[in-house]
DNA sequence: CATGAATGAGAATTCATTCAT
DNA sequence: CATGAATGAATTCTCATTCAT
């Protein structure tokens, strides 16, 4: 998990005056990040509150000032550290004039960039697979807020292409989007399993994925 | 987990004479299945040996007659309950004469059948995602023994199609197989998350997946 | 404990016919010796019945055919494997004509021989020191049957010497015997502790002990 | 074990404010003494951490705040409750001018006083005999730190007497010291066995022991 | 606010003992 | 007689949570 490194690490010991207030305001965030890191490394059940505390540079008791209990802490980690890949409005604002095949490519690049650069989506997916059964609403809301919107943008791109006559007329079913985007999820799972010695070069992979999509939707 | 129901449930209490030896032979299996069920429901760490025992119709101590400890039990569950989807030799024996596009379809049907009908592959995938980091060799060997061979058959089908001139010359790279089969894994993950209220009708999904593949490899 | 090696080791597997009956008769003895060895190596509480059984070449259940339970087994080990150093009658029969200083020397030699050659007295002393508080009658009867008689012989020797005018008139108090024989116990304890790298050469030690005694009782 | 009674008994329940810090400082000591008492009564293996806790007026968990585990606790009991009989320097400072036979007597009185008054040396000897095989370094270091220095002082006294011409020229070999002091160890063992109904009157015993020594070393 | 000592409910594991074969 | 599978009480050790300071 070397790539997962966040602010919390910097915590620990600074006694400068005035810093206190600023620190206090950041506490919950620091704790969330520390908790995230621990959950990633050990899983929910095996993570000890004390270790989260140590990582956040505070003591056990402090955790309980900000979070009801371990379950709440876990749910807050998932809820507050999940980051949407896209802001749909902004996406269209920035790229409206582009041709549709470029939009598909842009979309893909953004998805992979997001998945590769930051560990949150990936690891939160792990949390949900591992312990989601104990927190059913969590999984549901995560899907609604983060997965679905992403699929939706892709569908909108396909629809645009159809309207413009560059994509096949039957390209944009929600099922098709789902299938066409699968390789991105597959790569994520592979990283979670961390077992493939021969993980593909990312760039090649995205290219291949893009080709696969285009062969399916190009007129 | 209603669908996961196995022999172990039938255990509990029968004192008929002669039963002893027969029971002893079955015990490990019964325990493995009970453990599987519990691990599925609660995850590795949250599963208590005593619950596994109860489910298997024995007591704590008995578990330890057959398995060194909880870790071993877990590993044995993964190792011994994993079932290969295909026997490659048999696959070719049975279907050698078929045209290649039919082979692709057969392959897909078998994969989805396996994934849908029996919970083992799916749930063992969950185990590996959840706790695989604590058992690295386990993940690796599972990949080698169960995932890789399946990918390999698919590649062989693609190669056959290329040799016979019905598939495109660049169809069969290992990366491409991986990408083309992604939708099957995606569906599995979705089931693991158990959050999609609108899970697609399996048959439609397989059809769509098949179409996606064919559009990519057909000449 | 390399020096402790007894018949029990030879147990295990012999299926020759006829041997059965002989073996059966020896079972209790074999078990006692196996138990002794285990108690020596691990102490009472840490010794497992199953290990005793394995060492005796039988199975757990068999132990319970011959001994009520672990406590009984322990007590029987102490009771039945304790060996008296002397038979007083025989001692006098054999050595009656000897001069008293020679008797003292003979007595000492026998004591040290007994303590050195066979591990029973020593290790049973360990048992009593370790766990005697849980078996009070055991300690008492061991003292009465094995320690006291030995002290008594020594007193009788001293008395004989006094009667014959070769030992001082105040030589033979029971306290004095006790004090004069202390070095033998001390050496035993040292062996039990097994920590002295510089354990004295036995022969020198006995000589020194003899000298010490003689300086105290010689006229 | 009526004579073994220590501070820990006074523990249990006091909630007065400010007590916290003071208590925390005492905890390890209290636990050590409670553990000592339990080990004395039941032996290492049979002692339950929970009983130690109860005796110390705390709960199980607290023990583990101060000691890694049961083995560490045991070793710390032996290490930290062992008390040297003498401070050699101080002994010489206080008694340098005394004649050597008086030094011997002083030495003996101190040894017996120490052994009689406080149970630590005696019971720690029991621990080492019972369980020392599981903690070999412990026995070794105990011998080096507590037994050997005591023997050494005695040898120095003998040497002084030889130099001054009041003791025999061959009095001070290390073997001889060992033999001459044996009766003290013997008495200790007897107390450990707690079986002699006719334990000698201590004062008589020390007198007899002193006489025995003097008969051996006086010119 | 923050601390960290203390708690005590659990969970894994062991092993004396039983009893069907 | 002998076996060894099964039991379940007992024990060590952990860790979420509380609360006095």
Chain segment B50-70, per-residue pLDDT in tens? 999 999 999 999 999 999 999
Strand F bases contacted by the protein (CB, 7 Å): 1-21
Look at residues B170, B79, B154 and name the one whose alpha carbon lies nearest to residue B109.
Answer: B154
Q: Which of residues 148-187 of D touch C (CB under 8 A)?
A: 173, 175-176, 178-180, 182-183, 185-186
- Does residue A1 lie within any of the structural domains? no
Q: Is A22 touching B (CB cutoff 8 A)?
A: no
Query: What pLDDT is attached to residue C5?
Result: 43
Measured CA to CA, the distance from residue A35 to residue D207 in angstroms comes to 72
Looking at the structure, do residues D61 and D132 belong to the same domain, yes or no?
A: no
**Same domain? C65 vs C88:** no
With 0-12 / 13-18 / 19 or more C-beta atoms within 10 angstroms meaning exposed / middle / buried, residue C198 is: exposed
* Domain-ending residue, one of B80, B106, B122: B80
Which parts of chain B register pLDDT below 50?
1-17
Q: Do chains C and B touch (3 or more CB pairs under 8 A)?
A: no
Res C171: pLDDT: 84
Q: Give yes or no: residues A72 and A133 share one domain.
A: no
Regarding whether B88 and B74 lie in a shared domain, the answer is: no
Q: Write down the pLDDT at residue B19.
A: 61
Does pLDDT of C143 surpass 70?
Answer: yes
User: What is the CATH classification number for the domain harbouring D69?
Assistant: 1.10.10.60
Interchain pair D132, C183: CB under 8 A: no
CB-neighbour burial class of residue C79 (10 A; exposed 0-12, middle 13-18, buried 19+):
middle
Average pLDDT on C1-22 reads 47
Residue B2 lies in a domain: no
The tally of domains found in chain C comes to 2
Does C139 contact chain D (CB < 8 Å)? Answer: yes
C53-102 tens-digit pLDDT = 999 999 999 999 999 999 999 999 999 998 888 888 999 999 989 999 99
Mean pLDDT (chain C) is 87
Q: pLDDT-based confidence at C7, cuts 50/70/90?
A: very low
Asked whether at least 3 C-beta pairs link A and B within 8 Å, the reply is yes
C167: which strand partners?
C218
CB of A138 closer than 8 Å to CB of A128: yes
- Whether C22 maps to a domain, the answer reads yes
Rounded CA-CA distance D191/D81 in Å is 19
* Residue B179 domain-assigned (yes or no): yes
pLDDT at A95: 92
Triad C81, C86, C88: Cα angle to 5°: 135
Question: B218 forms bridges with which residues in the sheet?
Answer: B167
Tell me the average pLDDT across A83-91.
89
Q: What is residue A218's three-state secondary structure?
A: strand
Q: Is residue A11 part of a domain?
A: yes
Tens-place pLDDT, residues B27-55: 999 999 999 999 999 889 999 999 999 99
Same domain, C208 and C110: yes
As a whole number of angstroms, the longest Cα–Cα distance in chain B is: 67
Query: Quick one: pLDDT at residue A23?
Result: 64
Q: Name residue, tokens 């990918």.
A: B151
Residue B196: predicted pLDDT? 64
- pLDDT confidence of C188, banded at 50, 70, 90? very high
- Checking if the pLDDT of A146 tops 80, the result is yes
Q: Which of A89-98, C191-200, D92-101 has the lowest mean pLDDT?
A: C191-200
Residue A18 has what pLDDT? Answer: 55
Is residue C213 assigned to a domain?
yes
Residue D11 has pLDDT above 50, yes or no: no
pLDDT for the residue C40: 92
Specify whether A29 is located in the same domain as A69.
yes
Q: Which residue, A77, A96, A127, sits at the end of a domain?
A: A77
> Same domain, yes or no, for D160 and D129?
yes
Q: Which of B34, B52, B80 is the last residue of a domain?
A: B80
Nearest nt to D27, CA vs C1'?
E5
Q: Do residue C159 and residue C121 come from a single domain?
A: yes
**Structure confidence at residue C22 as a pLDDT band (50, 70, 90):** low
**Chains touching D (3+ CB pairs < 8 Å):** C
- Rounded to whole angstroms, the distance from the CA of residue C138 to the C1' of nucleotide E8 is 40
Residue D130 and residue D195 in one domain: yes
Query: What pLDDT does C20 receive?
Result: 58
DSSP B9: G
The residue segments making up the domain with residue C61 are 7-80
> Which pairs with CB-CB distance under 8 Å and at least 24 residues apart come from D170-176?
D171/D216, D171/D217, D173/C208, D175/C200, D175/C204, D175/C205, D175/C208, D176/C208, D176/C212, D176/D216
C–D: how many Cβ contacts below 8 A? 116
Do both A54 and A159 map to the same domain? no
* % of residues, chain C, pLDDT over 90: 62
Predicted confidence at residue C65, as pLDDT, reads 95
Indicate whether D2 belongs to any domain: no
* Number of H-type helices and E-type strands within chain C: 11, 0
Residue D168 and residue D185 in one domain: yes
Please report whether residue A32 resides in a domain.
Answer: yes
- Rounded to whole angstroms, the distance from the CA of residue B47 to the C1' of nucleotide E12 is 11
Same domain, A54 and A89: no
Across all strands, nucleotide nearest B70 (CA–C1'): E12
Residue B5: its pLDDT value, please? 40
> How close does chain B come to A2, measured CA to CA in Å?
14
């Amino acid at each position: 998990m070397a790539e997962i490194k966040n602010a919390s690490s910097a915590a620990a010991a600074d006694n400068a005056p005035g810093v206190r207030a600023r620190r206090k305001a950041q506490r919950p965030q620091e704790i969330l990040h520390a908790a995230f890191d621990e959950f990633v490394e050990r899983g929910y059940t095996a993570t000890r509150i004390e270790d989260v505390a140590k990582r956040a540079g505070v003591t056990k008791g402090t955790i309980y000032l900000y979070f009801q209990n371990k379950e709440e802490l876990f749910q807050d980690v998932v809820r507050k550290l999940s980051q949407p890949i896209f802001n749909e409005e902004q996406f269209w604002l920035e790229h409206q004039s582009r041709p549709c095949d470029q939009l598909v490519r842009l979309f893909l690049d953004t998805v992979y960039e997001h998945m590769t650069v930051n560990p949150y989506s990936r690891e939160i997916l792990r949390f949900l697979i591992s312990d989601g059964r104990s927190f059913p609403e969590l999984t549901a809301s995560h899907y609604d807020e983060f997965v679905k919107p992403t699929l939706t943008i892709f569908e909108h791109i396909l629809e645009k292409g159809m309207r413009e006559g560059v994509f096949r007329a039957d390209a944009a079913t929600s099922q098709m989007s789902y299938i066409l985007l699968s390789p991105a999820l597959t790569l994520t799972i592979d990283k979670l399993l961390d077992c493939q010695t021969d993980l593909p070069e990312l760039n090649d992979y995205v290219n291949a994925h893009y080709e696969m999509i285009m062969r399916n939707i190009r007129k």
